[in-house]
Each structure stands twice: as C-alpha cells, then as structure tokens.
Amino acid sequence: MSPTSDQPRSRRERPAKPALSRESIIGAALELVRAEGLQRVTMRRLAQELDTGAASLYVYVRNTAELHAAVLDELLATVDRGTRGDWRTRLERLLTSYTKVLFTHPGLAQSALLARPSGPHYLNLLETMLALLAEGGIPPGAAAWGVDLLLQHATATAAEHSEAAQDPADWAALSSAIQRVPPETHPRIAAAGQDLLSGTPEQRLSWGFQLLINGLAHTPRPTD
C-alpha cells in the first residue's frame, strides 16, 4: 500500500537538515528582522524557523542580547565609508549612516544600548573612525575615548527617535508643560520656550556630532 499524505513520513525519507552554525543562525535571524522586526527575534522563534530546539542555539549564541548584537554587526556592512570630503565631513557621514541603520530597524537601537557588537563590521567601523580622527590630528588617547562618545550619541539619538519610542501623547504633554511653566519659578525654561524642542532629529544629530568632534579636538584626555 502506498503511503498517503496524512501518514507520518519516516525520518529516513526526510531531507537532512543543514547543520547548525553561528553563521546560519545569524543569517536566519537577519531574515527574521527584515521580515518581522527585531522584537520577533527571540531564541524560541528562531529555533522554530530553523526547525530545531532553542537549547541547540545556545551552543552558538549565548543569549538574545548577543544574537541582536550579531545581527547589528551584519547590518553594519551597509554603513557608508565614502572617501569624499575632509575628515570631519567623512566622519559625520559615517556616523549618520550608522544612525540610519538603527533608524531603519526599530528596536535595534534600544538593543545596541545594552549589547554592543564585536564582529568584523563593527571593528571596521571603529578602525575607520580612528583613522579619520587621526587624520584630523586628534591625539590617540582622545580618539580612543571619543569613538565611544560619538557612537553613544548616535545610538541614543536613534533610540530616542525610533518608532517604538515615539509617543505623540508624551511629546504633547511635554510641549504643553513647557508652554505653561510659570516664569516666576522657572525663568530660563520660560525664556527658552519651545526652542527646547525645536529642530529636526537630523539637525540635532548633526549638531551633536559637530559638538563632540570639535570638543575632541580641543579637550585633552585626563592622565592617571
């Protein structure tokens, strides 16, 4: 009697599953991010996608935070490392491109605040930043600390302005509070007014990068 469609197939008749590896796990996670968003990329969901048990994934990836960091590292391959312009222009373009990667994938910025990637694309990003700072005459010690500050600014800005963090009610409440603040008790807030919330995210991001870069050029790192 020939087998019917509702009869279980022997394991020997099924095609062999590809062997698990760190690369295959990260590749599958990246596809899930693009299809369903980072919030769906859990070890359990990824195990379903790979037709295996969640425990098998922990042999290659320590936890979800490490998985998200590895996904971010893969996405950093798309960061713009253009060669046009002076070192300041190229550095700001590089950092802006990094921020846009985080903008494009809501939730990734919040994850990056907690788990920093350490893969080859992240190391390439650091190497490029250090080279640009060296080209600008920034001392090595200040550059070593400066890359951390610049990436923190980019990541925090992306996290603040990501879709998941944008709640119109919160912004409306803050704007209303600033507008109604008594000048007798908070004269400087009243004087600044809505300028405290003015500017586009792009303008504020660029201004912050320029402020930090200029500060690196004029602020020596403390010595022991």
Give the separation between CA 92 and CA 2, rounded to whole angstroms: 67
Angle (nearest 5°) at CA 115 between 110 and 116? 105
Helix ranges (H only) for the chain are 22-36, 43-49, 54-57, 64-75, 87-104, 108-114, 120-135, 140-161, 168-180, 187-192, 201-218
Range of the domain at 172: 62-218
Structure confidence by residue, pLDDT tens digits, 91-142? 999 999 999 998 887 678 887 887 778 899 999 999 999 999 999 999 999 9
How far apart are alpha carbons 50 and 211 in whole angstroms? 46
Let me know if residue 159 belongs to a domain. Answer: yes
Asked if residue 27 belongs to a domain, the reply is: no
Asked if residue 114 belongs to a domain, the reply is yes
Q: Is residue 17 part of a domain?
A: no
Tell me if residue 78 falls in helix, strand or coil. Answer: helix
In a domain, residue 131? The reply is: yes
pLDDT value at position 37?
81
Task: Give the pLDDT score at 66.
Answer: 87
Q: Indicate whether 23 belongs to any domain.
A: no
Task: Say which DSSP state 136 is in.
Answer: T
93: its two tokens: 């373009």
Question: Tell me, what CATH number does 206's domain have?
Answer: 1.10.357.10
Please list, in sequence order, all residues whose beta carbon lies within 8 angstroms of the beta carbon of residue 222, skipping any fewer than 6 positions away: none
On whether residue 18 sits in a domain, the answer given is: no
Q: In 76-118, where does DSSP find H-type helix?
A: 87-104, 108-114
Residue 22 within a domain: no
Tens of pLDDT, residues 175-200: 999 999 999 999 999 999 999 999 98
Residue 216 has pLDDT above 90, yes or no: yes
Q: How many structural domains compose the chain?
A: 1
Distance of CA 204 to the CA centre of its chain: 18
Please report the pLDDT score of residue 163 as a whole number. Answer: 57
C-alpha–C-alpha distance, residues 37 and 28, integer Å: 13
Report whether 138 contacts 217 (CB < 8 A). Answer: yes
